[in-house]
Amino acid sequence: MNKKERVIAAINKKPVDYVPCGFSLHFPENENSGKPGVEAHLRFFREADTDIDKIMNENLVPSPAKGSVFPSAYASVAKMDLVGTIIKDQVEFSKEIISALDGSSFVMGTLHGICASALHPIEKSGYAYEDARKIQRDSLIADEEISLKAFQHIADAMCELAKGYKEAGCDAVYFASLGGEHDCFTPEEFDRWIKPYDLQIMKAIKDAGLYCVLHICKSGIDMERYRDYGKYADVVNWGVYEIPYSLEEGRRLFPDAAIMGGLKNRSGVLVDGSDDEISAEVKNVIDGFGKTGFILGADCTLATEQDMHKLAVAIKTARSC
């Protein structure tokens, strides 16, 4: 059983020789795109030796101009050629990485959901993250029509990215959904402004013939908002410790999906644990959840400064369970 076969077996809840692992890394700014980005990905894949190779995505929706004012700037976003620029660039970037792999691993490309994708042009206009989150919601309230026109344009482009990932040779899309926090949108706002576009993109991922790995971003999440996402999700990952929401709770919420996670990403044993502590925690997670329909991972992407030895211990332990 090679890495790809192992992950697919886990997704289908079939027996595996050992629990597959999926971890990814935030690369420094000078190594997240172009040739340095390709080399950084390949180096991490070799060093980590995880079953899943995840391609990061820094080809984000741009700002119309520095200092743009929203919601009016969303009118310009709605006219941008996203497919011929950022989508094309991300697909080509992915092709370069995949062409250097041997085909034995399970490869997934990152795709940001509508909340994050429509947030990027605000951030790139010069606003800090928390300010941008507020501006996004205020824009939707102030001019829903112009804001949602941009949202639809972005969602359509992300559907093209899903097709592009298939063309590049990916097995799956890592769909990162933002916006489910209790203090961001009300449940009604989420259902009106976020969910329809997220589901459109997730359906496009499945229609492209790819597995859909749903990642639910951030802490303080109302997980119930994501129940309907389960119909398109083959794997679900969330902040077990960050939200918090246990693996078992997630298994009940998404009964048809495999579950990925189990470890903290910015604290805990992967950051400051001894080899014995890491092994004990991994064994505890796997013993508690079981080996069926499970992929060992973390709450979210690992820090740039991740100690690779500690990650290797976690992966080696999973392969011995």
Taking only the tens of pLDDT, the chain with its 321 residues reads 999 999 999 999 999 999 999 999 999 999 999 999 999 999 999 999 999 999 999 999 999 999 999 999 999 999 999 999 999 999 999 999 999 999 999 999 999 999 999 999 999 999 999 999 999 999 999 999 999 999 999 999 999 999 999 999 999 999 999 999 999 999 999 999 999 999 999 999 999 999 999 999 999 999 999 999 999 999 999 999 999 999 999 999 999 999 999 999 989 999 999 999 999 999 999 999 999 999 999 999 999 999 999 999 999 999 999
Nearest to 288 by CA among 259, 319, 255: 259
User: Which residues partner with 302 through β-bridges?
Assistant: 25
pLDDT at 164: 99
Q: Give the helix ranges, DSSP H, for the chain.
A: 3-11, 34-48, 74-77, 88-99, 114-123, 129-142, 144-168, 187-189, 195-207, 247-253, 269-272, 275-289, 308-318
Q: Which DSSP category does 256 fall into?
A: T
**Do the beta carbons of residue 318 and residue 286 sit within 8 Å?**
yes
What sign for the dihedral angle of Cα 107, 113, 119, 121? positive
Q: Which of 256, 259, 159, 174 is nearest to 213 (CA)?
A: 174
Residue range of the domain that includes 130: 3-318
Q: How many domains does the chain have?
A: 1
SS3 of 8, please? helix
User: Do residues 56 and 32 lie in contact, with contact meaning Cβ atoms separated by under 8 Å?
Assistant: yes
Backbone angles phi, psi at 163, to 5 degrees: -60, -40
Starting at the edge strand found earlier in the chain, the sheet holding 52-55 runs 52-55, 106-112, 172-177, 211-216, 235-238, 258-263, 294-298
Instruction: Spell out the residues 6+ positions from residue 232 whose beta carbon is closer than 8 angstroms to its own.
Output: 199, 202, 203, 205, 206, 212, 214
Q: CA distances (Å), 263 to each of 22, 63, 150, 211, 246, in order?
A: 11, 35, 36, 23, 11
281: helix, coil or strand?
helix
Look up the pTM and report it.
Answer: 0.97
What pLDDT is stored for residue 266 in this prediction? 86
Whole-number Å distance between alpha carbons of 124 and 320 = 45
Per-residue pLDDT at 35: 97
For residue 49, the model assigns a pLDDT of 96
Using the Cα atoms of residue 110, residue 113, residue 118 and residue 123 in order, give the sign of their dihedral.
Answer: negative
CA–CA dist 250, 26 (Å, integer): 25
Secondary structure (H, E, C), 132-200: HHHHHHHHHHHCHHHHHHHHHHHHHHHHHHHHHHHHHCCCEEEEEECCCECCCCCHHHHHHHHHHHHHH
Looking up residue 24, the CATH number of its domain turns out to be 3.20.20.210
* Rounded distance between C-alpha atoms, residue 145 and residue 126, angstroms: 24
